[in-house]
Amino acid sequence: MAFPEFRARRLRDHVVFREMVAEASLSARHLVQPLFVKEDLKGRRPIETMPGQAQLGMEEMVAEAKRARDAGVRAVILFGIPREKDAVGTAATDPEGIVQQAVRRLKTDVPDLAVIVDVCLCEYTDHGHCGLLATVGGRKTVDNDATLEVLAEMAVTCAEAGADMVAPSDMMDGRVGAIRDALDAAGLVHVPILSYAAKYASSFYGPFREAAESPPQFGDRRGYQMDLRNGDEAVREAAADLEEGADILMVKPALGYGDIIRRLKEAFGVPVAAYNVSGEYAMVEAAARQGWISREAVILEILLCLRRAGADILITYWATEVALKLQSGAG
């Protein structure tokens, strides 16, 4: 009698059949490359906690975008680092701000590449929080409702500059609806919203805060980012964002949150993105430098597992590198 476990074993035994029946696949079309563009920077400034990554001046950003495009990556996501920061994130909404300028350059120099812009105030405020501040009961806190108008204005200026998609990562309640209304009112109905619907208050963001120069100057972000112990809340947050007009849902971080990716995919049947964040990247790079892991095999395993969990889109600092390997057949 042929038992089922023998059938699985037989199909695993031959490389051709193993490939034929593999459930998850990975290609360059699934990958998005993050880029950090810094105002007034010439060349590139390596990010110490993210080996291989750098803050980029405008010309270097264009070069990196072209490299990603040539590797087969179809989209980048931009994070702007302004020359000056203030309490209200003025540079975020400036039509001539760094990220708006970067969008225009990319749409001119690399027009076949889709450009996504991260919409949040943490990169633009001197206090490092994702929204405007208020004092309540004698303590500083983020003013959710006052922040919505600023986020909406930022989204509009980026879309008017040519951004193909906006991605609010601030986790303010109601921000997707505010951005959708503002885009529509500006005649930008065609611009989709990639919502960081389930963005957790995670310890894996540390290196990013060096990259974006955005560590909070007081407290932390647990008052508006999600509690890592909660899964049902992620489903509720995602449902609210879809109701407000989100087109794609994001889960961030990725590695410890495969269950959330799967739940959102099964609950809503819409495209789901996973952000393979800076701390996840840094751990692999650090372990690989010590010779403790097989770097390329681990990277591929991480991305394939996120695809298996249900992620349609993978935002990862390895996007260009992986796309090149897939292009050459080395993956």
Catalytic residue numbers, as ranges = 199, 252
Q: Per the structure block, which two tokens stand in for 101?
A: 């300028």
Coil, strand or helix: which one is 237?
A: helix
Q: Per the structure block, which two tokens stand in for 199?
A: 């963005």
Got the DSSP string for 57-77?
A: -HHHHHHHHHHHHHHT--EEE
Q: Which residue has the tokens 């890592």?
A: 228
Contact 94, 100 (CB under 8 A): yes
Contact 90, 129 (CB under 8 A): no
Q: Which residues of 7-29 are buried (b: 16+ CB within 10 A; e: fewer)?
A: eeeeeeeeeeeeeeeeeeebebe
Q: Can you tell me the distance from the alpha carbon of 57 to that of 102, in angstroms, rounded to the nearest whole number?
A: 10
Q: Can you tell me the distance from the alpha carbon of 207 to that of 279, in angstroms, rounded to the nearest whole number?
A: 6
Q: Can you tell me the distance from the alpha carbon of 243 to that of 7, in angstroms, rounded to the nearest whole number?
A: 45
Q: Which residue has the tokens 């490939």?
A: 19
319-328 helix and 58-71 helix, angle to the nearest 10 degrees: 30
258-268 helix and 232-244 helix, angle to the nearest 10 degrees: 50
Give rounded-to-5 percent helix, strand, coil for the chain. Answer: 45, 20, 35
Q: Can you tell me the distance from the alpha carbon of 119 to that of 112, in angstroms, rounded to the nearest whole number?
A: 22
